[in-house]
Amino acid sequence: MEQVHGLVALACGLIIGLGAIGACIGIALMGGKYLEASARQPELMNALQVKMFLLAGLIDAAFIIGTGIALWFATSTFLA
Amino acid sequence: MATGTEAAHGPTPGEYIAHHLTHFNGTGGKQAALVDFSLVNYDTLFWAVAMGVLGCFVLWLAARKATSGVPGRFQAAVELLVEMVGDQAKGLIHSPESRKFVAPLALTVFVWVFLMNAMDFIPVDLIPRLWEMIYGGMGHDPHHAYQRVVATADINATLGMSITVLLICLFYNVKIKGAGGWAHELVSAPFGTSKNPILAVVLGLVNFAMQIIEFAAKTISHGMRLFGNMFAGELIFMLIALMGAAWTGYNAPSILLFLGHFVAGMAWTLFHILVVVLQAFIFMMLTLVYVGQAHESH
């Protein structure tokens, strides 16, 4: 049982951690590009903002799904 | 949020979460098989229909009192919403004929998904607890009173919606390109075709396989994205509620956990407002994008 607990803990850390790396890099790249683009063409800021939020949702989705699954694993293992 | 009444002979945290993740499907327990078409999740069905009716009612209310003069606040808000959806539809679907059907569809999808997602803001224990009283009052065992209020946190609902979008895409594929034109596209896009008959058959098979994979991937990711976000959000609300459920009396750990419950619950609710609106918006946008793709010929 201890070994299962340890493996689940490791797996949850990996799911959340690797997902967070991907989502953060994605959001950072997109946010940076958005700032660059709106500094270059401020009149496009509103149109770009809508698209940025749309993409933020798409980028975040996989990470949040992974977090949910990892939390479910963790609670069903450690709190049962 | 969580009530302290479980303290006497309360469920363990694992049981609490499992109880909250079980649908009311008439069998008094969890669905045994992974896929079972004989079961109906009555709670999902009820809340989805209720939210649909509520959305229609609110929009009808705005339409009934609409004036061409100076609009009131309510009418202005609904007009903003309709115009926003209309603008997005105009940008993605170039046929005015199709827009007559698809733009209202997108508005319906947005309002409906938003309302179903917004059920997440109701305290996680409120409606299940009320349902427990009603179910117990009807002479059933209250421990088996299951109720999940967020319809979009049920994969059956979200995949049902995304499959409906797929059917609409197939319909527009046939309508715009004709059955023959679409059949031709199925075997000639994305890699094209060849004059050599043997090569043409091989390319046709590869193209057809790619098209099927594309349709399947679009539909499944469309439904899974909404489901995953809402399910994870709901689960985190339950985990936050566990902090308050650990109340054992006026001692330091209980009070700290209660404060943690309050702060974490508020923070997650605020963040979740963004997720709820974004996911409804993304679901609507992807519906428009997919239907728009059905209009483009390769």
B13-42 pLDDT tens trace: 778 888 888 888 878 778 777 788 888 899
Closest CA to B110 of B55, B176, B171, B30: B55
Is the CB of A72 inside 8 Å of chain B's CB atoms? yes
Interval B245-258 mean pLDDT:
86
CATH number at residue A51: 1.20.20.10
Q: Which of B266, B226, B223, B232 is nearest to A16 (CA)?
A: B232
**Quick one: DSSP state of residue B121?**
G
Q: Tell whether B223 lies on the interface with A, counting CB pairs under 8 A.
A: no
Q: What pLDDT score was predicted for residue B7?
A: 42
Structure tokens at B230: 């809402």
* Selected residue with higher pLDDT from B24 and B163: B163
Contact state of A61 with B239 under an 8 Å Cβ cutoff: no
How far out from the chain centre does Cα B252 lie? Answer: 40
Count of the separate structural domains present in chain A? 1
**pTM: predicted TM-score of the whole model, two decimal places:** 0.85
pLDDT tens digit sequence for B131-152: 888 888 888 888 888 888 999 9
Residue A60 annotated in active site:
yes
Query: pLDDT tier at B298 (50, 70, 90 boundaries)?
Result: low
**Is B297 a residue whose pLDDT tops 80?**
no
Question: Cβ of B281 and A64 within 8 Å?
Answer: no
pLDDT band at B9 (very low <50, low <70, confident <90, very high): low
Query: Is B284 in contact with B113 (CB distance < 8 Å)?
Result: yes
Q: Where exactly are the structural domains of chain B?
A: 4-295
HSE-CB of B70 using CA atoms within 13 angstroms:
0
- Domain assignment of residue A22, given as a range: 2-78
* Position B8 confidence tier, pLDDT thresholds 50, 70, 90: very low
Catalytic residue chosen out of the listed positions B129, B194, B225, B254: B225
Quote the ipTM score.
0.71
